[in-house]
Amino acid sequence: MIGSIAIAMFMLAAVFALVRLVRGPALVDRVISLDVMLVALMCAVATRAAATGDQTYLGVLAVIAIVAFTATVVLSRFVERNEAGGRS
């Protein structure tokens, strides 16, 4: 019961982040909202793994964490280069 409520709250947080992703207004806002969405997804998967006791979700959690970290680093470097006027 409490696991389902927690997953619903994490999905609600992801929906709010999706709204921020669509509305913007800046690229930095969109990067942060993508990061928030991935963290909410990770929390929902971790809650599901804890509630069911199934360890197969932990592999999925690790993949989501790696993708989230890589995407955040790449997008932040992209934003940094665009704000610096293309200088490296």
86: phi then psi, degrees, rounded to nearest 5:
90, 0
Which two structure tokens, joined as six digits, stand for 79?
A: 């934003």
Amino acid at 62: A
Band (pLDDT 50/70/90 cuts) for residue 86 is low
4: phi then psi, degrees, rounded to nearest 5:
-65, -40
Which two structure tokens, joined as six digits, stand for 38?
A: 């991935």
**pLDDT (0 to 100) of residue 75:** 87
The domains located in the chain, with CATH, are 2-83 (1.10.287.3510)
Q: What is the pTM of this model?
A: 0.81
> pLDDT tens, 16-69?
999 999 998 888 888 899 899 999 999 999 999 999 998 888 888 999 899 989
